[in-house]
Structure 1
Amino acid sequence: MFEQDPFIIAELSGNHNQDFELAKAMVHAAAKAGVDAIKLQTYTPDTMTLNVRRDEFMVSESDSLWKGDNLYDLYAKASTPWEWHKPLFELAESLGLVAFSSPFDISAVNFLESLNVPIYKIASFEMTDIPLIQAVARTNKPIIMSTGMATFAEIEEAIATIRAIGNNPLTLLKCTSTYPARIEDSNLMTMADLAKRTGCQVGLSDHTQGLGAAVAATALGATAIEKHFVLDRCAGGVDAAFSMEPSEMAALVKACRDAKAALGRVVYGGSEAEQAAKKYRRSIYIAQDLPAGTVLGETHLKIIRPSFGLAPKYWPEVLGKVLKVDAIKGQPLAWNMME
């Protein structure tokens, strides 16, 4: 599904702080960091919620970055203006990046289709929005879907919804839906199990602080890594606390690429690059000058480096053998030297 493996996505989210010039600078910085794609989120506060001030429309979790915020106000602050999408996508594409978005309702799907996005992302909280998933599936575009808090039954239902409409290439992302997420809550073995049980490509939407989870996911077979991105955490941004700065993103890209390269393939007997080093194994050598007719004993021979003599496993067999030629110290022992 992706040209790069792993396919590394910088999620801009609302870290642009409603500043279009900052959003463009983020795209440039993401490209310089070496990511493969940038992703936006396509919604308005009105497509996400209602402008209601009752308690259930407030963020109440004590450990939330957004505790005390009204949902409508939060989404207004975090949204990316729809008129920015086209110029940001064009900028990203001019820099060699894939550019796409997460729609949060059907109107967003229709809008993104007008921009001919190449991929769609279903956010973890929208995994149970079957009408939205159906609308995305009908585009016949590849789909990336974060699983978040979904049960396996809910994941199966979402996959079945897509498959009932088309055969969209589908990648499932393991995602811990806390912000930031603790590294110990990553449970990356779930990602590997998802691949086994669904046959889909898998990856990680990572809300942890740091790159450890992303590297581990790559080693477990992730073909896509998504990470939130910010120019400067200290300058703020709705997701800044769990977003990577450019230097950190560049380090993540390198670490994931290195982890993927390190997996390689199944090889026994050493790689091609190791073959020359085999001469530094041990073997049996003549330890002193010896005349023909010498009955070889332990004082006459030594197991040393390099490896041009007989292998050490033949030590019991050569003891007691008779030399049929003169031998000098430092000469590798060979079968044709003995009777």
Structure 2
Amino acid sequence: MNYKELIEKSESDLFIIAEAGVNHNGDLQTAFDLVDAAVMAGCDAVKFQTWITEKVYSKEQSLKPDYQKRATDINESEFDTVKKLELSFDQFRQIKAYCEEKGIMFFSTPDELGSACFLKELGVDLYKTASQDVTNTPFLAKLAEFGLPIIFSTGASTISELALGVEAMAKTNNQLIILHCVSSYPAPEEDMNLRVISSLKDMFGYPIGFSDHTKGVEVACAAVAMGARIFEKHLTLDKDMGGPDHQASLNPEEMKHYCVALKNAYKALGDGVKRIMPCEENVRQAFRRFLVAARELNVGDTIREEDLIFKKVVDGIEPKYIDLVVGSAVTCRIEEDKVIDWSMIKKT
């Protein structure tokens, strides 16, 4: 799938990415099971994260985000935690082949250039960058030179920081998609700031998506209304599994509901043209009011406003024509509560 096809798909029916991430816990079979879950849920793609730990993390690094402290061994270094989650390049070859067998797009986030080169050789259709690399402009510039579409995640960044990231990539590659993201796991609804979606669209002109770390589906549906068309949501087989991201992920059944809810929200947007919808035709006919005689009227009577009442009937003269009816002469006897039509009156 090329950039144009991806955008066309997202504009016609959304594009939903199951973020398997590191929820395989370093186990190949679990990675396969996550692919199966993404297919079952109706996702368009499944995304992993590819890195060589020694090239990304320092053994001296001891700082973990609070959410990782809650979900992993607090005494374990970030280096050791991440090393246990690392998959080999050969395992990624097997995962991609499995995705092809199952009919779902595979791609990944490279955390360093060696992994980016590997993924390009593997034949991925696109890259996604991690929010941690928003300000890593040398890496972004090099990644852009590979010529693949790039989904650019923007969590925990300022507008000026992400603008520099966009600029670094756009010098050689305009196949960009910007994801609004709030990097908290889970992210509280009151901090989601979804109006940023339209701000990013206006400022940069690229397609905008939403990397969703909230607990449910409501915020994502609101993001659809704000203009997001590409969505990323963490997927886990079991929220009680050990690991940094499981508790902020959806299980397979929840992911299935998520996909259905988002696509229904998108359908509900419509085209913005106010008109009578097919489902309203019967209601329109049953609910509209027409002019009815409030009393018995005889031939030659001049109709006054108090002679008329608006009632829900099948057909007749609409209330908007009352000024044409008042002052008209009755041409035949009209019983009380009888629907008035134009054949019963004439203008004097």
Same fold (TM over 0.5): yes
State the identity %.
32
The partner residue of 1:47 within 55, 58, 80 is: 55
- The 2-side partners of 1:139 and 1:199 are apart by 22
Q: What is the CA distance between 1:220 and its match in structure 2?
A: 0.8
Partner of 1:269: 275
The partner residue of 2:29 within 6, 10, 21 is: 21
Partner of 1:209: 215
Q: Residues 134 and 328 from structure 1, CA distance in 2 versus in 1: closer, same or farther, beyond 3 angstroms? A: same
Partner of 1:237: 243
In the alignment, residue 319 of structure 2 is paired with which amino acid? P
The partner residue of 2:115 within 98, 101, 108 is: 108
- The 2-side partners of 1:102 and 1:15 are apart by 14
Q: What is the CA distance between 1:190 and its match in structure 2?
A: 1.1
Q: Residues 235 and 293 from structure 1, CA distance in 2 versus in 1: closer, same or farther, beyond 3 angstroms? A: same
Contact 1:33/1:253, CA 8 A, preserved across alignment: yes
- The 2-side partners of 1:223 and 1:269 are apart by 25
CA deviation vs aligned residue, 1:44-93 (integer Å, no higher than 9, x gap): 221221223xxx52327488435544121121123233222112112222
- The 2-side partners of 1:240 and 1:166 are apart by 34
Q: Residues 271 and 334 from structure 1, CA distance in 2 versus in 1: closer, same or farther, beyond 3 angstroms? A: same
- The 2-side partners of 1:120 and 1:235 are apart by 27
Q: Which moved more, 1:247-256 or 1:67-76?
A: 67-76
Partner of 1:198: 204
- The 2-side partners of 1:41 and 1:132 are apart by 16
1:79-228 alignment to 2 at 5 Å? 79-167=86-174, 169-228=175-234
Tell me, which stretches of 5 or more residues in structure 1 are unaligned? none
In the alignment, residue 89 of structure 1 is paired with which amino acid? K
Q: Residues 62 and 236 from structure 1, CA distance in 2 versus in 1: closer, same or farther, beyond 3 angstroms? A: closer
Q: Residues 306 and 218 from structure 1, CA distance in 2 versus in 1: closer, same or farther, beyond 3 angstroms? A: same
SS in 2 for 1:165: coil
RMSD: 2.2
TM-score normalised by L of structure 1: 0.91
Q: Residues 139 and 63 from structure 1, CA distance in 2 versus in 1: closer, same or farther, beyond 3 angstroms? A: closer
SS in 1 for 2:157: coil
Partner of 1:259: 265
Partner of 2:62: 57
TM-score normalised by L of structure 2: 0.89
CA deviation vs aligned residue, 1:172-211 (integer Å, no higher than 9, x gap): 1111112222121111111221011100111111112111
Q: What is the CA distance between 1:146 and its match in structure 2?
A: 0.4
Contact 1:58/1:69, CA 8 A, preserved across alignment: no
Q: What is the CA distance between 1:289 and its match in structure 2?
A: 5.6
Contact 1:283/1:309, CA 8 A, preserved across alignment: yes
Q: Which moved more, 1:75-84 or 1:255-264?
A: 75-84
Q: Which moved more, 1:107-116 or 1:146-155?
A: 146-155
In the alignment, residue 57 of structure 1 is paired with which amino acid? S
CA deviation vs aligned residue, 1:249-268 (integer Å, no higher than 9, x gap): 01110110011111111122
- The 2-side partners of 1:165 and 1:158 are apart by 12
CA deviation vs aligned residue, 1:260-279 (integer Å, no higher than 9, x gap): 11111112232244244322
SS in 2 for 1:18: coil
Contact 1:59/1:68, CA 8 A, preserved across alignment: no
Q: Which moved more, 1:236-245 or 1:65-74?
A: 65-74
Contact 1:16/1:237, CA 8 A, preserved across alignment: no
